[in-house]
Amino acid sequence: MIQFYNVNGELVNAVEASLKVTDLATLRGYGVFDFFLVRSGVPMYVDDYVARFERSAGHLNLDLPISKEALKEQIQALIQVNKLDDAAIQLVLTGGYAEDGYTPVQPNLLMLGRPMLIYNNDVLTKGVKVLLHQHQRELPEAKTINYLTGIRLAGNMKQQGAVEILYHDGQFVREGVRSNFFIITKDNIIITPKDKLLHGITRKNTIALAQQHFTLEERDVTPQELLAAKEVFITSTTKGAMPVVQIDHHIIGDGKPGEVTLLLGKLLHEHDIHYIESRKVMA
């Protein structure tokens, strides 16, 4: 379905795209990535994602081999050559081929396309279950390719009917494996953590929209506060604002998606539509 990937600036047939086995991503798990949607041919919030990609690389002392402008041009070319309408694009920067198997020399840059994952409508009408797990990601502000804990626990998570795991560090709940989270208190105050986490682009958009209608605090959240919240939701590029109705065996609020969550989901959706329309006009 998605025919071409970009490997170090070259468009290659997706089924044949490859790196050599000596890449530090393979040998040492050294690399970063980013992930964004293409909707109606428009790369969504691409400036934000490309900027984060560069910041993540910086945390690993890796330099993007091309400028951000050139990267965006190659993204546009990838969309065109694959005739992408609705899809996802993954950017990956690896440690590259290290002669000694350890020291990065020249990173490899990949751009992969994937079909867009569509969540079942049930998720929004019924909400989802998540689990709590004690873990703190190394380099929390970098989107690294290391998902050891999340992937290792994925089988157990699915067995328990959960769709995500929220990490706490023994003191505060920070983020999900692949999402950020928000809580809404009984007084309709919206709270989301801001330290020791990956700053999601969906989180950023949600904060901006929420601040137009509600009081929002960016601060640490304890597990007790999380469980006592009136509403909880998680955000990510693929999940949007996803209502959480159960955490482990605790029911959140009345066990149904809350009205603030649903309103913010609607505002996010409208924000996306507006972005798509404005970019189409510019194109």
Ligand X SMILES: *Cc1c(COP(=O)(O)O)cnc(C)c1O
Extended strands (E) in the chain: 4-7, 10-13, 31-39, 42-43, 87-94, 108-115, 128-134, 162-168, 173-176, 180-184, 189-192, 215-218, 231-236, 240-247, 250-251
Other beta carbons within 10 angstroms of residue 147's beta carbon come to 13
Element (H, E) at 80: helix 68-81
- Write out the binding residues for ligand X, residues 140-199 only, by CB under 6 A: 143, 175, 178-180, 198
| Residue with Cβ nearer ligand X (178 or 230) | 178
CB of residue 140 to ligand X, shortest distance in Å: 8
Task: Give the nearer residue to ligand X in terms of CB position, either 34 or 253.
Answer: 34
Candidate list 39, 168, 174, 203; residue touching ligand X; CB under 6 A: 203
When binding is defined by CB under 6 A, the residue of 192, 236, 246, 261 that contacts ligand X is 236
Smallest separation (angstroms) from ligand X to the CB of 175: 5
The residue whose Cβ lies closest to ligand X is: 200
For residues 6 and 179, which CB has a smaller minimum distance to ligand X in the complex? 179
Q: Going by DSSP bridges, is the β-strand pair 42-43/180-184 parallel, antiparallel, or unpaired?
A: unpaired
Please state, in angstroms and as integers, the Cα–Cα distance from residue 151 to each residue in 80, 159, 227, following that order.
Answer: 33, 13, 24
Please, is 272 exposed, middle or buried when counting C-beta atoms within 10 Å of its C-beta (0-12, 13-18, 19+)?
A: middle
- Which position among 74, 94, 192, 237 is part of the footprint of ligand X (CB under 6 A)? 237
The single residue among 201, 221, 232, 267 that binds ligand X, judged by CB under 6 A, is 201
Is residue 209 part of the contact set for ligand X (CB under 6 A)?
A: no
Question: How many binding residues for ligand X (CB under 6 A)?
Answer: 13
CA distance 39 to 23: 32
Please, which residue, 45 or 97, has the CB nearer to ligand X?
45
Shortest distance in whole angstroms from residue 167 CB to ligand X: 9
CB 52 within 8 A of CB 143: yes
Of the listed pieces 14-22, 55-63, 229-237, 265-273, which binds ligand X according to CB under 6 A?
Answer: 229-237
Answer yes or no: are the C-beta atoms of 36 and 201 closer than 8 Å.
yes
**Residue 4 or residue 205: which is nearer to ligand X going by CB?**
205
Q: Is 200 in the site for ligand X (CB under 6 A)?
A: yes
Q: How many CA atoms lie within 13 A of 109 on its CB side?
A: 21
CA dihedral sign, ordered 160, 90, 219, 241: negative
Among 235, 257, 264, 267, binds ligand X (CB under 6 A): 235
**Is 56 near ligand X (CB under 6 A)?**
no
Contacts with ligand X by CB under 6 A lie at: 143, 175, 178-180, 198, 200-203, 235-237
